[in-house]
Amino acid sequence: MTKPKTWTLKSIAKELGVSNATVSNAFNRPDQLSKARREEILAACKKLGYFGPNKAAQSLRRGTFNIVALVLPDSVEYMVSDPVASSFMRGVSAVLEKNGINLLLFSGNNDNLNSVVDFVDGFICYGRPRNKQLVEQLKQVAKHVVTVDFNIGRDASVNVNNQQASFDIAKHALQKNDDRVAILGLRLLDNDVLCRVYEHNEFEAGQSIAHQRLRGYHQAISDAGITLGDDRTWNIPESSERYASIAAKEALSSTPRPNVLLCMSDLIALAAMREALKMGLSIPEDVRIVGFDGIDEGQRFVPKLTTVHQNSEEKGRIAATLFLSKEQQTAEIDYQLQLGQSS
Amino acid sequence: MTKPKTWTLKSIAKELGVSNATVSNAFNRPDQLSKARREEILAACKKLGYFGPNKAAQSLRRGTFNIVALVLPDSVEYMVSDPVASSFMRGVSAVLEKNGINLLLFSGNNDNLNSVVDFVDGFICYGRPRNKQLVEQLKQVAKHVVTVDFNIGRDASVNVNNQQASFDIAKHALQKNDDRVAILGLRLLDNDVLCRVYEHNEFEAGQSIAHQRLRGYHQAISDAGITLGDDRTWNIPESSERYASIAAKEALSSTPRPNVLLCMSDLIALAAMREALKMGLSIPEDVRIVGFDGIDEGQRFVPKLTTVHQNSEEKGRIAATLFLSKEQQTAEIDYQLQLGQSS
DNA sequence: TGTAGGTTCTTAATCGATTTACTTAATGGT
DNA sequence: ACCATTAAGTAAATCGATTAAGAACCTACA
């Protein structure tokens, strides 16, 4: 009697003596058939053990999947180990779960979005992936993207209010109007070069995170009555110990030797602190250093780093909400200054 | 020239003037066409920006997905917050990632496997889900399942060596041959009843985790030269505070009052400790209590719980490996006795 | 009675691939 | 020169659904 051991829409339709379309409509579009017919079909399906249209086929046809891929900055392992990252995940998953959307973990070690792009509705990307290819692919092939803590000029992103936060932390670092300020910037330029930046037209208008932070610094500096020399800004192409150390050494050896270092990431700030200490300078007496991010290591370092810390779980919730809304915008999340002894 | 903005196998084939099959074969079965033709096609695809067959369509056709769903005992939130659970996840993901398999998080709050069963290769199920429906569905509709810490009599499972571990912990708890032992068992019976078990034929042969543990206890008891009364065993239908308290109270009020309580989970053991203290008994002087699992709360409790602790990350690695091997077997993982002051 | 409109259901194209069975051409042995 | 193999490529069925277009019937109004 019951023909196949596993039912399909087609075999069910044949069994019940109706068309494919009618069965499909019974499940998806109640207005397309009579109530009686619909209930009859649904009941029969239940009895026969057909649980509804196959989701894989449905997805292929419709082009929607109810899956979003969370692009991790690193391995999945890292993600569940790191407390900040996993509280972000908590926020994301809480929102998605409530909406019946499944979460797929996409490791940052993976070098090809193509392996998943065909069966997800889009991506939430937590931090700029190391792998540049990945960023390109996000731009080009993703149906929908929400980026977190960085920007690719597509769809939505969630960030701290970089300009305000940078203003706050810089204001805190600056004390007198004869302070000698230097800025260690992260990815101020498009090209991957470590350099001292003398001038850049787009700084005042740019929408990248680095530019936003730069404006915050500039405003605080100017509010403090300080004039920033036009050779006081360095560009570091990526937040790595190696590059940061080189830039920090150069900045701290430059004339006039800065006594305030505004760093666009904690990693940079920590590298700068190490260099300063190596040069025999004392912190914060000889040089005050502030970072951005609020990573754990900054709190363990002696002296403790003064920096900007963000609410990670809320960030996750907002990222997911933004994803679901499909709107194109930049959302902001809360932050607090985390005061250490480095400034 | 380049017709569609998004290429498909078909449109590519037409563009190149070959058949669908040939393009497909170029990607999947190199032996089906000449080397020259193949390289020509692959090169053309690259140039045109076709990244290979659509995975969703491929999956529908082939019936394989390169996705495994991790069924969580609770919300995703819980999973990334709980250290034991997330170290399990770390193990799982490390292995899957190495094999290019994607990990989908399936919340235990979800009540219907059907929403994902059609697009995953199978399930790794971490702990018996609260939701009984889920268990039934795992049995019936899953293509492949590895269960962890419980057993559904299908495919593979990974567990601690329950019998050996129970033997060890019981042996540790027993001191003299006039000890009065009682057992607080978890899910010894199929039906969901809280009761005192007098006799059960299948105990000696049963393959459920509870039965394995029971055999371990029995062996240790008999080795210690003790005869276990036939009314000294309780069945608790689920590891909850409420049931456990009732059973513990009953056991501790029974005659002869036990001075050793072998509990099949830490939750049960903790409930028993609370009841004992409430009754004015001192631990371990009046009654020694041991658990099973190694949950955090047991280590915070005063007195600290003596129990069996497992290597969670390895458990994850083994579960994933077992999943990939598709073999049907039960794997074992390491455990250690965690000695507290409760025995 | 003729026709406009509304329900209810079906036919057939489509989503983007894989794969079996088949055609055609080339090769080799005798 | 003939037949048997093998290689290279193609046509068409299939995976399991959705959905636009249209057929069949029923109602109602002039």
Residues of B in contact with A114 (CB under 8 A): 51-52, 55
Residues of A in contact with B117 (CB under 8 A): 55
CATH of the domain at B186: 3.40.50.2300
Structural domain boundaries, residue A35: 9-53
Nucleotides of C under 7 A from a protein CB: 7-21
Q: What is the pLDDT of residues A300-342, one digit of tens each?
A: 999 999 999 999 999 999 999 999 999 999 999 999 999 999 9
Beta-strand pair A102-106/A67-71:
parallel
Same domain membership, residue B298 and residue B266? yes
A171 inside domain: yes
Confidence grade of residue A1 (pLDDT, cut at 50, 70, 90): very low
> What is the pTM for the complete model shown?
0.87
* Six-digit token string for A2: 């019951």
Same domain membership, residue B77 and residue B49? no
Mean pLDDT within A229-240: 91
Buried b (16+ CB within 10 A) or exposed e, A121-159: bbbbbbbbbebeebbebbeeebebbbbbbbbbeebbbbb
A60 inside domain: no
Distance from CA(A246) to C1'(C4), angstroms, rounded: 83
Same domain membership, residue B189 and residue B245? yes
Same domain membership, residue A269 and residue A168? yes
**pLDDT for the residue numbered A19:** 96
- β-sheet with A181-186: strand ranges across: A195-197, A233-236, A181-186, A260-263, A288-290
Same domain membership, residue B173 and residue B88? no
Indicate if CB(A94) is under 7 A from strand D.
Answer: no
Same domain membership, residue A100 and residue A41? no
Same domain membership, residue A297 and residue A250? yes
Same domain membership, residue A37 and residue A75? no
Final residue of a structural domain among A96, A115, A143 = A143
- Name residue B145's beta-bridge partners: B123
B117 inside domain: yes
Distance CA B150, CA B53 (A): 39
**pLDDT for the residue numbered B1:** 46
- Strand C neighbours among A 58-87, CB < 7 A: 60-61, 63
**Beta-carbon contacts of residue A189 (< 8 Å; ≥ 6 apart):** A195, A197, A200, A235, A237
Select from A77, A93, A85, A103 the least CA-distant residue to B92.
Answer: A77
A3 inside domain: no
Same domain membership, residue B176 and residue B99? no
Q: What is the pLDDT of residues A41-95, one digit of tens each?
A: 999 999 999 999 999 999 999 999 999 999 998 888 888 888 888 899 999 999 9
| Helices A209-223 and A162-173: angle between axes, nearest 10 degrees | 40
A323 inside domain: no
**pLDDT for the residue numbered A4:** 61
What single-letter amino acid sits at B227? T
Mean pLDDT within A230-241: 91
Mean pLDDT within A139-164: 94
Q: Is B54 left (phi over 0), alpha (psi -120 to 50) or beta?
A: beta
CATH of the domain at B71: 3.40.50
Find tokens 């609770």 and name the residue: B74
Backbone angles phi, psi at B321, to 5 degrees: -60, -45
Residues of chain B under the 70 pLDDT cut: 1-4
Distance CA A312, CA A318 (A): 10
* Six-digit token string for A253: 């050896």
Mean pLDDT within A115-128: 96
**pLDDT for the residue numbered A131:** 85
- Strand D neighbours among B 48-87, CB < 7 A: 57, 60-61, 63
CATH of the domain at A41: 1.10.260.40
A139 inside domain: yes
The minimal CB distance from B86 to the residues A67, A80, A117 is found for A80
How remote is the C-alpha of B92 from its chain's centroid? 11
Same domain membership, residue B44 and residue B121? no
Is the predicted pLDDT of residue A222 greater than 60, yes or no? yes
- How many domains in chain B? 3
